[in-house]
Amino acid sequence: MRTLDIKDGQIASVLVAEELATSQSDSLDIMVRLKDGRRFGLTLLTPEHLRRQLDQALSLVTPGMVLVKNFSDEAIIDAVRSAMRQDIERLGVLQPLINQ
């Protein structure tokens, strides 16, 4: 696991579960920690993931998943910020404040 520190807005950090992904993986799990102590997780998917899934099925339902161009730090941070703009963080789990 590695952490992306984001020093703006409500986001305290983003934990990236890289060891679960292989070099050829087309999905990546992340955990977002907000400054107020809430946390929420997202699964990031690449377009290749959608293509592979639709080769095997006629439809795909993916709640809690976000499409990204690649798994660069820039794309991950952009995905988190986009999720925040769409109020996805309201689904977060309220935890004690980070400094407690």
Over residues 40-52, the pLDDT tens digits come to 888 899 999 889 8
Give domain status of residue 73, yes or no: yes
Give domain status of residue 98, yes or no: no
Give domain status of residue 99, yes or no: no
Total domain count, the chain? 1
Give domain status of residue 21, yes or no: yes
What does the angle CA 88 – CA 90 – CA 91 come to, to the nearest 5 degrees?
80
Give domain status of residue 96, yes or no: no
Selection from 35, 66, 73 nearest residue 49 by Cα: 66
Residue span of the structural domain in which 79 resides = 2-91
pLDDT tens digits, residue range 48-86?
988 988 999 998 887 767 899 999 999 999 999 888 888
Please check whether residue 82 is in contact with residue 31, taking contact to mean a CB–CB distance below 8 angstroms.
no
Give domain status of residue 43, yes or no: yes
Secondary structure of residue 90 in the 3-state scheme: helix
Give domain status of residue 61, yes or no: yes
DSSP conformational letter for 72? -
Cα 86 from Cα 16, distance rounded (Å): 21
